Structure 1
Amino acid sequence: MRILAGLAVLALLTGCSAAEGDPGLRPAPPTSTGTPTGAPALDVEVLAEGLDHPWDVVQAPDGTLLVDERAGGFTAVLLDGTVQEVRADFGDLFADGETGLMGLALDPDFAENRRLYSCQGDQDGDIDVVAWTVAPDWSSATRVADPLVGGLPLNERSGRHGGCRLEFAPDGALLIGTGDTATGTVPQDPDSLGGKVLRADPATGEVAVWTSGHRNVQGLAVRPGTGQVFSVEHGPDRDDEVNLLRAGGNYGWDPDGGGSYDESVPMTDPSIPGAVPSVWSSGDSTLATSGATFVAGEEWGDYDGQLLVALLKDQGVLALRLDDAGAVVGQFQVPELDDAYGRLRTVQQGGDGALYAVTDNGGDDRLLRITPRG
């Protein structure tokens, strides 16, 4: 793995600079608009159950769904409804607290190369992005780049703030959202890969820091047709955030308390020059925002184009309406999922247009399929 030297190099490579903005402004949560009158009623179907803390779900071009579990394990749900284990070696997995087997992404050319990427803790003391190939019958997965990207920091004491979300950018880069490991110096340290969003070459593993100053990135979502990329992250006891990412941007989390982890500081510290304000903040309490996806398709009515964010503490899905510039202009919680299935870790739109979500309650978790009625 080759690491490019920090934000300055990436800004030169992309021809972009950090976003401008008044870092002293904390966006007020938009007034809840209620469910739009043009939003269809939704049907929710349980596709698999008996899972234990699933973290992510992806859909292959053939329609198969793949789910992972934080303690280790892949499960496939085939088109005929068969639920089967995908054999894979997780003998070196570090799974403790918030860290374990986390984000998943399928290669854009998965139909040809059957390549899968996972983000996972390693007993050697770091978090790795591992590349796998999946058998044609979904019976097994084999590591082919182990790691593709290594050296993401890990809190070996507790597993706290391990990140770690994966998403492909429109230009083919593999985006990696990382956590700060509850270490005060990490988010602002240009030599650390923690508290960052990274861009990696999925073929070579070459990686560069794209944005910094993050606390614990739990979601990444690309807005269709725009190239805009949004991150979702947890606040301490306030200010969960959604951020519009720009190359070289510093998103203002700096909990360095002179050797301690000071969580009383603002999520976007106004004393950091050029700190980029979030486009949405939860305000004075947290919802525990997690995985996110944009909804596309006329069948979704007024949901079309909205950013959906899974909620752990608030147990549901938050819908955010954005203007063309990426500012949030309205919000509501999806009624069919509100307090209905417990904690939701991830929501993703599949290639078939349906939404897929995983619960994170522990012990008997579920994979859900959500579709517009009628």
Structure 2
Amino acid sequence: MRRVIFPALAAILLAGAAASPLLAQSKPPAATVVKSEKQAFTVETVAEGLERPWGLAFLPDGRMLVTEKAGKLRLVSPDGKVAPPVTGLPRVDARGQGGLLDVAVAPDFGKTRLVYFTFSEAGENGVNGTALGRGRLADNAARLEDVSVIWRQAPKYASTLHFGSRIVFGPDGTLFVGVGERSNPEFRVKAQALDETLGKVVRLDMDGKPAKGNPFEGRDDAKPEIWSYGHRNIQGAAINPADQTLWVVEHGPRGGDELNRIAPGKNYGWPVITYGVEYSGGPIGDGPSKPGMEQPAHYWVPSIGTSGLAFYTGDALPGWKGSVFVGGLAIPSLTRLELADGKVTKEERLLEDVGERIRDVRQGPDGLIYLLTDNPEGRVLRLKPAANGRS
């Protein structure tokens, strides 16, 4: 079942736009109890003063790595102490929606201390593209060493929009990266082209090479790293623990944000099919469906500005176990979804009164939910159960 919500069109905001100063000033009181349909919880500020934080990853000891869009990587302790920037990262092209984007810790970090990150990489004559970097976090966590770019979106284009991107480690030791189609009408059609990596999910080995068994492996007319195509701008991705499949959320244009269950080799339609329209109000493509193209598991009209995706498996917030959480940028909020047999059966909007754009959503090693707010003075928030548990 897909649920479509139609609040006033005046609420539609471009998901990549800067946060309103009024929204940035609105902060929840400490330890305020919030009631959802299945779980009463409190919202805590763990850390603040982060410059437009974008991605969050937990180290095995509970400390967090947080990217700041302008190009800094910060280490944040569980008690909220923010360390000076980690050194050793490459220069990023932070114009528009570009910058230092996602960060992920290798599954074998305890042995390798490897950290992966995505960023917008500049090329010659004003072009740029999403790149995947890797480095080894020094023992004192103050520097990334042996840093290299292990994969690049190709080709690069002159655009400051739609870089994606999220990094997800698959259960088989491979990694997925969801990348955008760079937005401009002349570029976005490349989401349907298999000889370029715009608007794709790519599946790589841990060294950034195309993973074995990809659906277009061995074809001369296709990039071997492509896992799925026809995407617009993926900014949330996670493995569903129920079936170990990859799910993503991606921005639509004016309406048409999507939650998609990703299957190898499938075409997710953009820009041929969409539930959205141009920002001018004009139509896009051939309508909402077409044979041979996948339908979303869920979509939003108008756009909520999906960013961040997490399947909640913890015990600390028992009323939410099995729920899916999606951050909202265009409509600042946290959306909770319930799934049954791969279909969305329930949607609940949370934290609308907080008034801050939610850029990332993660489950912490303590079983709590952590959020990044997208502001010039961004925060790490933590959702904890209220004393009385369920509402």
TM-score with structure 2 setting the length: 0.80
CA distance in 2, matches of 1:342, 1:101: 20
Comparing 81-90 with 169-178, which one deviates more in the overlay? 81-90
Comparing 113-122 with 221-230, which one deviates more in the overlay? 221-230
* Selected match of 1:332 from 348, 354, 357: 348
Deviation of 1:300 (Å): 1.5
* Selected match of 1:126 from 125, 129, 151: 129
Residue equivalent to 1:206: 210
Deviation of 1:355 (Å): 1.2
Deviation of 1:211 (Å): 0.6
CA distance in 2, matches of 1:103, 1:278: 24
* Selected match of 1:296 from 310, 313, 322: 313
TM-score with structure 1 setting the length: 0.83
Which runs of 5 or more residues in structure 1 are unaligned?
Answer: 1-25
Q: Structure 1 residues 307 and 69 mapped into 2: Cα distance closer, same or farther (>3 Å)?
A: same
Q: What SS does the corresponding residue of 2:191 show, helix, strand or coil?
A: coil
Q: Does 1:351 align with 2:365?
A: yes
Which runs of 5 or more residues in structure 2 are unaligned?
Answer: 7-34, 212-224
Give the number of aligned pairs.
335
**1:287·1:314 contact (CA, 8 Å) conserved in 2?**
yes
Residue equivalent to 1:22: none
CA distance in 2, matches of 1:277, 1:290: 20
RMSD: 2.5
**1:152·1:178 contact (CA, 8 Å) conserved in 2?**
no
CA distance in 2, matches of 1:172, 1:212: 21
Residue equivalent to 1:12: none
CA distance in 1, matches of 2:386, 2:286: 39
Q: Deviations over 1:214-248 (max 9, x none)?
A: 01011101112421221100110011100011111
Q: How does 1:1-374 map to 2 (within 5 A)?
A: 27-29=2-4, 37=37, 39-90=38-89, 92-124=91-123, 125-144=128-147, 146-157=148-159, 159-182=160-183, 183-206=187-210, 208-254=225-271, 264-265=283-284, 269-271=288-290, 273-283=291-301, 285-323=302-340, 325-334=341-350, 337-361=351-375, 363-374=376-387
CA distance in 1, matches of 2:149, 2:87: 15
Q: What SS does the corresponding residue of 2:317 show, helix, strand or coil?
A: helix
**Runs of at least 4 residues off by over 6 Å:** 260-263
CA distance in 2, matches of 1:360, 1:261: 22
Q: What SS does the corresponding residue of 2:83 show, helix, strand or coil?
A: strand
Deviation of 1:80 (Å): 4.9
CA distance in 2, matches of 1:189, 1:135: 40
Q: What SS does the corresponding residue of 2:74 show, helix, strand or coil?
A: strand
